Amino acid sequence: MEQHLLSNFEQILTNPTKSSLKPFSIARSLILNPSTTDQTISSVIQTLSTNPQFHLHHVITLLSEIPILRPHFSATIIAVLRSLSLTRPDIPPRAAALALSTLLSLPPPPDSDLVPSFSEMTEAVFLSLCFGSCVPVRHRLLLEAEKFDVRPSILLTVFLGFSKDPYPYVRKAALDGLIGLRDRIVVEDRGMIEGCYLRGVELLSDAEEGVRCSAVHMVSEWGKLLVANSDDKSKMDLSDALFVQLCSVVRDMSMNVRVGAFNALGKAEMASQYLLMQTLSKKVLEENKFLGEISGKHLGSRALSAAGAFLHGLEDEFYEVRSSACYSLRMLAILSSDLAEKVLGLLMDVLNDDSAVVRLRALETMHHIAVSGHLKVQEMHMHMFLGTLVDMNSSIRLTSRNVLRLIKFDNLPMFKLAADSIIHSLETYPQDEPDVLSVIFEIGRNHGSFAVSIADETFSQMEPFSASNWDFNSSRTAAMLTLAISARLSHDIQQRLYIIPPTIFSYAVTMLGRLSNGLTEVMDRNTLLSYLSHCSSSTEPHHIEAEDDLATDFNCHILVSHVADPLELHDKEYNDVKLVLANIAEIWKPLTKFGCTSELLMALRCWKEELKTRITDSHHSSSVLTFTLEYIVVVKLLSKARWHVMRPLDFVYNKAGDVGYILRKLEKKIRELRYRFIGLTKEEELHIEELRLVACTLRLSNFDPHFHESALKKLLIYKETSAEHSRFVAELMKTLEKDESDTFRFREPLNLFSLKQLDLSRNLRHMRAEVEIQDNDWLNPVPFVAGLPVGIPLKLKLHNTPLEAKLWVSMSRSKGVIHYVFINLKEFGGCDEMREFRFIAPFYKTPKVNSFTLVLGIGMECMCYEEVPCFRRHGPSHELVYLCKEKQVFLSSVRK
């Protein structure tokens, strides 16, 4: 059958007298049939390519179909198509265009030396087809222009020229091409940009809807480019002109054009205040008021074009336009509070819209205004706005609540109205409870005095005897209780002293589950419980003590940690720690003595793992626990180092580097143990000092060339101040007095060393820092100019740092060269427990590179350590302990 069809096809095709489409339909059926053999296909290709004189269009169509179904024929097809010279006038333009796009869609053949000539050829064919008389081909080529390898400069000219084509579809394709081109190339010739922009403006009044749509988009894009490429003087004028052009199309008769216009207006970057005001009023505003602002030349006509643009958008018949107009109002609202107020008035009316999409968009815009700090809700708006809290649509309710969170109420009636409405909405839509409670908590905290007076009013009616009448299942009760709690935790410190009867809090305990559900973001259930029980148990009118417990900080997390941490550990945890520490002391001596270091390490590891499970939240892990974990690490390192130093001599194994690394790490850890915890007792300090002596001694006995006995002696001087010496220290002092130079002389004291049990006090506090580099990652680098200093914005959170602590920001670009910046804690507020502030760290030595990364850390000087003699001129005079993990900062040079 296949053979029969093939021969039939060849026969008809080679017969020059007949000219019919039959052979092509036969060929097509052969090509499309998946079971046709490759051999047949090859002969079909052969026949088609040798007889191209007839119906070239059909031949090319068939050839183009083959590689889609049979990719392995691509190379052959490319060869055949290339052999046709596409610029020949007798090839129909459609066929040529098809061949061209097929050629481009196929993967290029491996012999890449052909490519340059090929791309030149494509450009020539593209241009000749575009300028040919076949309109559909022109349209199609312009649409797909990106595919063809045409130089952008030529493409730009082609597009610009064809934007005046008599055929609207060609015009539209040309405009779309220009829009696409703007993103891909950088045009620097101002004349060219202006030419394109003005062509777009001209086409805004095209007779065809589609062309106008594209023109709006194009004017917006190229207009921005034009503004960006002009000098500062004319920038304002040009951006005004662009804004007015866009405003002038908002009254277009086509819905799509209007939507496009509002989308473009929303993206506008700037416009003068006068014009913006004008867009909110259909009447032309008094010019005198603004005369100083812009040149009078275009004032009248511009005002007329811009008049009421947004009003028209908001009252449009189509919800698409209304929603787009709501969106674009954002741009206005963030510019000034005057505008924001007017915009808000309009948006409040839009909340009455019948389309949920539009209402939602309006609320989103309001939220946007609120975030930018311009939201001033007036009494007349309240009715409309609060109505959205009970909207049928849940996302509208959610957005409305989000706006409510940010509203500042000036007076009690307004606040009361809002509180009533949200409670009403809670009763109507109980499924929103968690979010509603969190909103109530938030607005209550922000308006402490109002919340107190409402809570007071509600609960004062509630006598202890009639409390049974209270329905403790109702949402209203939950809401009122939340309000009472929030009033207690208000930002307004005055209000916290206000008395709310403790009974209220004991009622609240009964609703713990519901309340904590709503307040998950603010505090967890246990915290809430302990807080509530705390508040309900104290019956005295003034709970000064309780008030002290509440953090003075605005940050809720801190507040929580203070209320929750009934100072640090629960007893169980503390006992565990104690047990572990005792065990360590007990097993250390025998195991090291008999050389069972690996068993010792294993035991230590197990304890470490066990203690780690106690850490619930890494941020708020208790200081004692942290200390113990660090201590275990130190013991581990010590045991390892001791094993290396003390084992029988074996020169093959004993490489100084190995131990050196462990020793350095050990010293660092000991330093951290000593200086990152405040509230250590004298005994604990001595214990750590002894460990440090051991580490030094280990180092001395390990041929460290950089380390001298004098250093150790200095340590011992400090040590002498303490009352009694351990056997190790006594022996060590003796050894040093002997003044020998034998490296093994330290073995004796080391052998005498035994780990004593550490009695840990509960009052430890762990110093730590949280560093955040704002908006910085490898995609958003901090810009810098080579040779000039660059400021790195840091957000710092310091925990348990005393005021006298000397903190440094260390920044290093390459290893070794570290740049230090001092942080004077006295300049920033906060208490020892918690300081939070922003700090700009200057980095001076910016290199001449495009981009680089800095490694940044926060270090504290170890004041008790000896001064580092030849430390850098600007930098810490003592060793540093680092309070946080190192952070990477990405910097990139500013492009000219």
Partner 1 sequence: MAIECLVLGAGQEVGKSCVVVTINGKRIMFDCGMHMGYVDHRRYPDFSLISKSGDFDNALSCVIITHFHLDHIGALPYFTEVCGYNGPIYMTYPTKALAPLMLDDYRKVMVGRGEEQQFTNENILNCLKKVTAIDIKQTVQVDKDLQIRAYYAGHVLGAAMIYASVGDAAMVYTGDYNMTPDRHLGAAQIDRLHLDLVITESTYGKTIRDSKYAREREFLKAVHTCVANGGKVLIPTFALGRAQELCILLDDYWERMNLKVPIYFSSGLTIQANLYYKVLISWTSQKVKDTYATRNAFNFKNVQSFERSLIHAPGPCVLFATPGMLSGGFSLEVFKHWAPCESNLITLPGYCVAGTVGHKLSDKTTKVDVDKDTQIDVRCKIHRLSFSPHTDEKGIMDLVKFLSPKNVILVHGEIKNMVNLKGRMESELGIQCYYPSNNETVSFPTTHFVKADASAAFIRSTLTPNFKFLKDEAAEMAPVQVLDERVTQGILTMEKGQKVKILHQDELLATVGTEQAEI
Residues that bind partner 1 (CB under 8 A): 130-133, 138, 157, 160-162, 164-166, 189, 191-192, 194-195, 197-199, 205-207, 251-253, 281-283, 301, 304, 307-308, 311-312, 314-319, 346, 349-350, 352, 354-355, 387
- The 3-class SS string of 881-895 reads EECCCCEEEEEEECC
Residue pair 230/191 in contact by the 8 Å Cβ criterion: no
C-beta of 385: minimal distance to partner 1 in Å? Answer: 14
C-beta of 195: minimal distance to partner 1 in Å? Answer: 4
| All residues at 6 or more sequence positions from 355 whose CB lies less than 8 Å from its CB, including other chains | 319, 322, 323
C-beta of 400: minimal distance to partner 1 in Å? Answer: 16
Dist. CA 18–CA 11, nearest whole Å = 11
C-beta of 378: minimal distance to partner 1 in Å? Answer: 14
C-beta of 289: minimal distance to partner 1 in Å? Answer: 18
Q: Long-range CB contacts (< 8 A, 24+ apart) of 554-558?
A: 554/491, 555/834, 555/836, 556/522, 556/523, 557/619, 558/833, 558/834
Query: What's 553's DSSP letter?
Result: S
Q: List the beta bridge partners of residue 784.
A: 893
C-beta of 191: minimal distance to partner 1 in Å? Answer: 4
Nearest to partner 1 of 133, 469 (CB atom): 133
Nearest to partner 1 of 322, 496 (CB atom): 322
C-beta of 259: minimal distance to partner 1 in Å? Answer: 13
Nearest to partner 1 of 167, 890 (CB atom): 167
Dist. CA 707–CA 664, nearest whole Å = 12
Nearest to partner 1 of 315, 683 (CB atom): 315
Q: List the beta bridge partners of residue 889.
A: 854
Single-letter amino acid, residue 801: T
Dist. CA 405–CA 407, nearest whole Å = 6
3-class SS of residue 852: strand
Nearest to partner 1 of 172, 642 (CB atom): 172
Nearest to partner 1 of 173, 663 (CB atom): 173
Nearest to partner 1 of 185, 606 (CB atom): 185
Nearest to partner 1 of 342, 562 (CB atom): 342
Structure token digits, residue 802: 């005393």
Q: How many other C-beta atoms can be found within 10 angstroms of the C-beta atom of residue 144?
A: 16
Of 265, 254, 156, 162, nearest to 213 (Cα)?
254
Residue spans of alpha helices (H) in 703-857: 709-720, 727-738, 747-752
Residue pair 252/297 in contact by the 8 Å Cβ criterion: no
C-beta of 329: minimal distance to partner 1 in Å? Answer: 13
Nearest to partner 1 of 199, 669 (CB atom): 199
Of 758, 774, 781, 744, nearest to 893 (Cα)?
781
C-beta of 432: minimal distance to partner 1 in Å? Answer: 20
Dist. CA 834–CA 562, nearest whole Å = 11
Dist. CA 316–CA 319, nearest whole Å = 7
C-beta of 139: minimal distance to partner 1 in Å? Answer: 12
C-beta of 164: minimal distance to partner 1 in Å? Answer: 5
Q: How many other C-beta atoms can be found within 10 angstroms of the C-beta atom of residue 36?
A: 18
Residue pair 341/329 in contact by the 8 Å Cβ criterion: no
C-beta of 453: minimal distance to partner 1 in Å? Answer: 29
Q: What is the CA radius of gyration of the chain?
A: 40
Helix or strand holding residue 322 (H, E): helix 319-333
C-beta of 337: minimal distance to partner 1 in Å? Answer: 21
Nearest to partner 1 of 307, 426 (CB atom): 307
Nearest to partner 1 of 116, 166 (CB atom): 166
Region of 800 on the Ramachandran plot (φ > 0 left; ψ -120 to 50 alpha; else beta): left
| 311 HSE (CA, 13 A, CB side) | 14
C-beta of 213: minimal distance to partner 1 in Å? Answer: 13
C-beta of 211: minimal distance to partner 1 in Å? Answer: 11
Nearest to partner 1 of 161, 590 (CB atom): 161
Nearest to partner 1 of 250, 755 (CB atom): 250
Residue pair 397/385 in contact by the 8 Å Cβ criterion: no
Nearest to partner 1 of 351, 782 (CB atom): 351
C-beta of 425: minimal distance to partner 1 in Å? Answer: 15
Dist. CA 511–CA 507, nearest whole Å = 7
Nearest to partner 1 of 58, 251 (CB atom): 251
**CA distances from residue 222 to 161, 193, 790 in whole angstroms, order as listed:** 16, 7, 34
Dist. CA 552–CA 143, nearest whole Å = 64
Structure token digits, residue 205: 């009044």
C-beta of 88: minimal distance to partner 1 in Å? Answer: 17
Helix or strand holding residue 304 (H, E): helix 299-306
Report the side by side order of strands in the sheet with 790-799.
768-773, 790-799, 834-843
Nearest to partner 1 of 282, 605 (CB atom): 282
Residue pair 25/11 in contact by the 8 Å Cβ criterion: no
Residue spans of alpha helices (H) in 377-432: 379-387, 394-406, 412-428
Dist. CA 9–CA 20, nearest whole Å = 11
Of 204, 152, 207, nearest to 177 (Cα)?
152
Nearest to partner 1 of 108, 387 (CB atom): 387
Q: Using the CB atoms, write b or e for 515-542: b if 16+ within 10 Å.
A: bbbbbeebbeeebbbebbebbbeeeeee
| All residues at 6 or more sequence positions from 171 whose CB lies less than 8 Å from its CB, including other chains | 162, 163, 164, 165, 203, 206, 208, 211
Dist. CA 426–CA 437, nearest whole Å = 9
Nearest to partner 1 of 429, 498 (CB atom): 429
C-beta of 131: minimal distance to partner 1 in Å? Answer: 5
Dist. CA 153–CA 691, nearest whole Å = 74
